[in-house]
Structure 1
Amino acid sequence: MDTRRAWWVWGTGVFAYLVAITQRTSFGVAGLAATERFDASAAALSAFTVIQLIVYAGLQVPVGLLVDRFGSRVMIAGGAVLMCLGQLQLAFAATVPGGLAGRLLVGAGDAMTFVSVMRLLPVWFGPKRIPVLTQLTGMLGMLGQIISAVPFAALLHLRGWTGAFLAAGALSVLAAVLAAALIRDVPAGAVRPVPQTLRQTGLSLSGAWKQAGTRLGLWSHFTVQFAGNVFVLAWGYPFLASAQGLGPGTASVLMTLFVLVALVCGPFVGTFVSRHPMRRSSLVLLITAATAAVWLAVILYPGRAPLWLLVLLVVVLAGGGPGSMIAFDFARTFNPVSRVGTATGIVNVGGFVAALLVMFGIGLILDALLAGGFSGGQLYALESFKLALSLQFVFLAGGAVALLATRRRVRAQLAEQGVIIQPLWKVLVSRTRTVRPDARTGRNSRPGAPQDAGEPGARG
């Protein structure tokens, strides 16, 4: 395999994903300008984010099937073209329906990108490198959020609405050109897979869903990804600035801290997954428990939470981003390469569906409390927010239960293949035993210590 070419292919895919994140989050920093341009209410403006995420989540499975059929190069370049058209439409839109049409195109193009980039990894790299590269793909892509928050926001202020969104569209043109020129679906000399027939496509979808490991990835993504998305894309800034009374500068710093912490955590999570593949679900559950605990502390704290607790909240929520990437490692290791795209698409639905439901549910609860005159009739009152944000516990608990049930099925299947995974508590107890030298080798050993070596799944 041409190692240098593999890095160029992956780097180009990461750049395309970074551009996709930039386009996804660009409208979020243009809220005030959008209010003036479209003369729209807050409810109408929220529809821009909701419709974009609905399109994104709804297309994940179809995109997974298409990338397995047509390859990553076509899908990444095509997604960049759609996002360019969407930003051009938004640049010249003067009404809410016109703007929504633009965001619909952006959501569709965005949906085509991540799954296609992930499809490249098992083709171009060995299994030992993939967990870390999976984390780096997700975390480097998040830099697009900083691009939209800083240079795009500055351009919006200096050049106005049309100029800023035209520039964003031009960035997608560059991504499309680079993808078409540099990305290849398989290494030189490798056998190119024959495109699937419609019947084979249906069998691929059915096979990916029937694989319990795919569903384990789905519930992992569902459980750990939504809390961070809800915070960053919808309710985090109002909660910090209005309910918690932080100044705009402090709230912005905390939102930026979210991205930076996620970037730092990603490689550590990837290294852990690579070294301890049998404990991936345990790490997901640990992150879930930490998320629930920190939200419980913030909600139960009498009055406004101290700054240190809000910083801790942001740090823990940021860890959910790298944690959610573990879900795609399940999709990869429990499915053959021919249907990795399909399995990845199924997994990617989980977190975004949960995020949409929680975002919408929190809004409904806040509106209901406002209509009932709760907390003096203030929409973003602290007590109202605490009640509304408690909805997250339902999804955290439900996702954890589903994850545990699915993990039991996965481990039963692995046991049939001769792979016995000891409960984590037994592993921890065994490692606390007194270390003694082996009589034959002279090396230290722990009798009966279960091993974490090996990668579970169909491709192990």
Structure 2
Amino acid sequence: MDKKNSRYRWVVFTTVLFTYFVIVTQRTAPGLISDQLMKDFNVTASTIGLLTSIQFLAYASLQIPIGVLSDRFGPNLFLIVGAVLNGIGTVIYSLAPNEFVLLIARLMVGMGDATIWVNLVLILSQWFKVKEFVGLLGMAGMTGSLGFLMSTYPFSAWITLSGWRVPFFTVGIILCLCGVILYYVLVKKPKQLIKSDPLANKPSGKIKEKREKTFVLLRRVFSDRQAWATFLCHFGLVGTYVGFIGSWAVPYGMHVYGMTRSNASQLIMIGLVGALIGAPLTSWITTRFESVKRPYVIAHVFVLLSWGAFLLFNGKPPFFLLIILFLIIGYGNGASSLTFVVVRKSFAMKEVGVVSGFANTGGFLSAVLLPSIFGKILDHFHTAPSTVGYQYGFIIPVTFSLLGLIGGILINEQRQEAKQKGE
């Protein structure tokens, strides 16, 4: 069976994307019930913060190991195990009798989540041609944004109707079922198709390549300019968006603009709308102009200018401009899917997993660093007017997005073109 020309590849695409959609809803959904958990389990806000950080720390720390293992043993197994682990963790979370079980459950969810994106990139690389891959990765990015969107008002309404345990239990069961379906779609069915294909049993004439030692591979990746370019790109776009939106966006709207919690949460929705637009639009622009670097650098420039606008207006831009800024910052997060287009076009298939993991580590390292550094700045200026703390706090996303722009400039597009010709 020729994977990249078969109709079956669309079944693979749909199944993998649906699983990714459900998993993404569980990255931020627990934030909807923080106050309820504090009440039900009689825990402090710092404990709730630990529940969040343990999930993302597990995610970030496992990206490179998962990339190495996926390159060695294939992405199918890890995607299946990740979906099931995520599902079991979510079910345990919904049944937790105390905060210790909650912590273990979120750790399991973070470990399961860590396997998803890297292996999604690898699976799409195996089943689709490079030109198809660019547009489909944009759709994958849009699917992730839809997952975040689902975890806001729709999931909140469900929790209001039935309490928090039922929705999390249901989603956990769905994820376990996704793992079973993925096994059939990625492992069992392709084996049947290969057996029924008369051309599949013919010798290919290819000589099996000797596997490179892991240490040698990692050393080469860590010294590669193109790999660091993707790391910095993700660091600048993803971390600034996820880090600020997930921690300080709502307090910012409440403290600086006097908005209610409900109205301030609309800022997150605006960012999500930008992300929904950013992923498919930048993929289309990339395909239309046959260039990844130029549209990606432009996206980085706009995001840097947007964060800079917060500094320019002393932390409080006019409200109409605020809406535009959140839209552009969200757009940049959607455009970050181009990071993995660069990876796919610049590295051999045996290296795509580890480099994708390395790049993804950049984004979530930034997402872990920004909230804590931003918070320390706010604490330092806690006696000053609210705009002062945020004004200085915005130096952090400006700095991070500047690093992202440097990453975009460092991308070597000639290297991508040379690899494509070689293929």
Match of 2:308 in 1: 296
Let me know the Cα RMSD of the aligned residues: 2.7
Pairwise CA distance, 1:106: 0.6
Q: Distance in 1 between matches of 2:52 and 2:210?
A: 35
Q: What aligned pairs does 1:166-315 form with structure 2 within 5 A after superposition? A: 166-184=169-187, 188=194, 189=200, 200-278=213-291, 280-301=292-313, 304-315=316-327
CA distance, structure 2, for counterparts of residue 199 and residue 287 of structure 1: 36
Question: Which one has the bigger helix percentage?
Answer: 2
Query: In the alignment, residue 275 of structure 2 is paired with which amino acid?
Result: A
Q: Counterparts in 2 of 1:403-414, with a 5 A limit?
A: 403-404=408-409, 406-407=410-411, 410=412, 414=414
Query: Which runs of no fewer than 5 residues in structure 1 stay unpaired?
Result: 376-380, 420-453
**TM-score (ref. length: structure 2):** 0.88
Q: For the residues of structure 2 that align with 1:20 and 1:336, how far apart are their CA atoms?
A: 28
Question: What's the offset of the Cα at 1:219?
Answer: 1.6
Residue in 2 that maps onto 1:429: none
| Deviation for aligned residue 1:208 | 3.6
Q: Deviations over 1:247-280 (max 9, x none)?
A: 33433333223222222232221122224444x2
What is the distance in 1 between the residues matched to 2:402 and 2:144? 29
For residues 299-448 of structure 1, what are the structure 2 equivalents within 5 Å?
299-301=311-313, 304-370=316-382, 373-375=383-385, 381-401=386-406, 403-404=408-409, 406-407=410-411, 410=412, 414=414
Q: Is the 8 A contact 1:277 1:456 kept in 2?
A: no
Specify the alignment match of 2:197 in structure 1.
none
**Cα 1:201–1:16 shift into 2, 3 Å:** farther
1:183 to 1:139, Cα distance in 2 relative to 1, 3 A: same
Letter in 1 for 2:390: F
Q: Corresponding residue for 2:15?
A: 12
Contact 2:310–2:394 (CA under 8 A) maintained in structure 1: no
Measured after TM superposition, the shift of residue 134 of structure 1 is 0.8
- The one of 114, 124, 128 equivalent to 2:127 is 124
**Residues 37 and 197 of structure 1: is their aligned pair in 2 closer, same or farther, counting only changes over 3 Å?**
farther
The one-letter code matched in structure 2 to 1:105 is: M
| 2:51 match | 48
Q: Say which SS state the counterpart of residue 14 (structure 2) adopts.
A: helix
Matched residue of 1:374: which SS? coil
Query: Is this contact kept in 2: 1:69–1:195, CA < 8 A?
Result: no
1:102 alignment partner, one of 102, 105, 119: 105
Q: TM-score, normalised by structure 1?
A: 0.81
| Cα distance in 2 for residues equivalent to 1:197 and 1:160 | 55
Displacement of 1:242:
2.8
- Which whole-Å deviations, capped at 9, do the CAs of 1:135-154 have from their partners, x for residues lacking one? 11111122111222234322
Number of residues of Structure 1 aligned to a counterpart in Structure 2? 408
- The letter for the 2-side match of 1:230 is G
AA aligned to 2:417 is E
User: Partners in 1 of 2:91 and 2:209 — Cα distance?
Assistant: 34
**Distance change >3 Å, CA 402–CA 8, structure 1 → 2:** closer
- Quickly say closer, same or farther: Cα 1:303–1:162, change in 2 above 3 A: closer
SS in 2 for 1:63: helix
Do the aligned partners of residues 321 and 302 (structure 1) sit closer, same or farther apart at CA in structure 2, a change above 3 Å counting? closer
Contact 2:250 2:267 in 1 (8 A): no
After superposition, the Cα gap between the structure-2 partners of 1:211 and 1:168, relative to the gap in structure 1 and judged at 3 Å, is: same
Between the aligned partners of 2:13 and 2:220, the Cα distance in structure 1 is 27
User: Do the aligned residues in 2 keep the contact of 1:63 with 1:111 (CA within 8 Å)?
Assistant: yes
Greater Cα offset, 340-349 or 280-289? 280-289
Consecutive unaligned residues in structure 2, runs of 5 or more: 195-199
Cα distance change of structure 1 residues 224 and 382 upon mapping to structure 2, 3 Å threshold: same
- Deviation of residue 303 (structure 1)? 7.4
- Quick one: distance in 1 between partners of 2:116 and 2:34? 25
CA offset digits 1:322-350 (Å, max 9, x no partner): 22111111111111112211111111111
Deviation at 1:195, TM superposition (A): 10
Q: Is the 8 A contact 1:227 1:392 kept in 2?
A: yes
Contact 1:13 1:183 in 2 (8 A): no
Cα distance in 1 between the residues matched to 2:219 and 2:106 = 31
| Percent identity over paired residues | 26
Contact 1:68 1:341 in 2 (8 A): yes
Out of 125-134 and 44-53, give the one that drifted further. 44-53
1:197 deviation in Å? 8.5
Which letter maps to 2:74? Answer: G
Q: Could you tell me how far apart the structure 1 residues matched to 2:304 and 2:211 are?
A: 43
Alpha-carbon distance in 1 for matches of 2:45, 2:177 = 33
Cα gap change, 1:94 to 1:386, in 2 (>3 Å)? farther
Amino acid in the other structure paired with 2:25: T
Give secondary structure in 1 for the equivalent of 2:164: helix
